[in-house]
Copies of this chain bind each other. A is one copy, B any other.
């Protein structure tokens, strides 16, 4: 499949796919004219990359992890990296849970009196 089809079937932009290649995360074949051609497995790989990006991993880190996925390879370094990232994610989850609890505190407080928070009505976020 060409880049446009992969983009629509994964929901990421064409630019993002080219960026993944730039970062050596997903390197497609090329047709005679220089156009990128991806196989079916690329769909899953793109989704994995997106998942890891969403977890806050950098391109560099993902690049280091992908060989482990592809070849089921295994070294002390790779295990250390995997565990380190797992720990980072755990920590991040805990931070989010803490933040949610703080928000819940605010929500609980804001459910009795009546006053003017954000009276301006200005757009937020």
Which residues of A come within 8 Å of B, CB atoms?
48, 51-52, 54-55, 57-58, 60-61, 64-65, 67-69, 71-75, 77-79, 81-86, 89-90, 92-93, 95-100, 102-104, 106-107, 109-119, 121-122, 124-125
Contacts and interface: CB of A to CB of B under 8 A. Distances in A.
A104 to B, nearest CB: 7
A61 to B, nearest CB: 5
A110 B95 contact: no
B118 A74 contact: no
Contact of A125 (B60, B69, B111): B60
Contacts of A92: 96
A78 B48 contact: no
Contacts of A113: 72-74
Contacts of A98: 51
Given A51-B95, A110-B72, A117-B68, A104 B86 contact: yes
A71 to B, nearest CB: 6
